[in-house]
Structures are given as structure tokens and as C-alpha cells.
Amino acid sequence: MCTALTYLSGDFYRGRTLDYERGYGEEVVVTPRAYPFAFRHEGLCAPHYAIIGTACVADGYPLYYDAVNEKGLGMAGLNFVSSAAYRPCPAEGRGVAQFELIPWLLGSCAGVDEACRLLEGVCITDDAFLPGLPPAKLHWLLA
């Protein structure tokens, strides 16, 4: 189980643990503003906020564990194995694949209120990143 916290006292701090028994090739990754994210259900997002965080890069795509954008909005994906559930993208509606959620929100939003508005009516989908790489069972901290 992963743990996360925020602390505000003049400055803002965010931290998290990454409680895995082994590494998955994670590294510090910077996604520049011009990097084209091609989201499965939300289309191409070329101009977006720059992002830095910890990710495993697979097939040229940053699978972020946690990150912060240039505006200071941060997000962490935390294990939630027994309770996380995703479903297919609805025929009518909006969907974001589980592995796209961090770059989608951090690329699009400058703050928490803006992110909450963007999330309204969005289905977090069960799309696998690649065959054999199913969605991680997560919940998220956004601050």
C-alpha cells in the first residue's frame, strides 16, 4: 500500500511512498510542453503544461507514478488493489484510460478546482496500455 500526504505552512509540500518490492525501471521524466499526447478517447493534446515526475517509460510513453506540472499542480497514483475498478469508455460520454489520467490532468489544468471541473462526467477506463500490461489498480492524490 502506498501513502501520500500534503503539508501547508507558508510553503506547500507533497510527498508519497512507493511501496513496491522491486523496481519497474522508474526514473525522473520531464515531459515538455510540445510533447504530443495522443489520448485513447480524448484525442491529441499537443500544447499542454510541462510535467516532471517519476515514471516508467514504455514504448516512448511516460507512465507516471507521480508528477507535478509547471503551475504547481501535483498528482500521485497510489495502490488501491482491493477497491479500484474501471470500466469501458461509454459510447456517449468522455473517457480517460487509467494510465493517461496523470498527464491528462496535469497537462490541462493549473489548479485543483480546474481539474475537478475537467473530471466531471469522465469515466476512467479499463484500457490496457499494451497487451500484457493491464491497468494498475489505483486511486489518486491531487494537490
Q: Would you mind telling me the total number of residues written for the chain in this entry? A: 143
pLDDT reading at 18 higher than 80: no
Choose the catalytic residue: 2, 56, 109, 123: 2
Mean pLDDT, all residues of the chain: 90
Is pTM, for the whole model, over 0.75?
yes
Q: Say yes or no to pLDDT of 76 above 70.
A: yes
Alpha helices in the chain (DSSP H): 101-108, 112-119
Q: Is 123 a catalytic residue?
A: no
d(CA 104, CA 82): 25
User: Residue type for 35, please?
Assistant: Y
Closest CA to 99 of 60, 74, 129, 56: 129
- Beta carbons within 8 Å of 79's beta carbon, 6+ residues apart: 1, 2, 19, 136, 137, 138
With contact defined as beta carbons under 8 Å apart, do 109 and 118 qualify?
A: yes
Residue 34 has pLDDT above 80, yes or no: yes
Q: Bigger pLDDT: 82 or 70?
A: 70
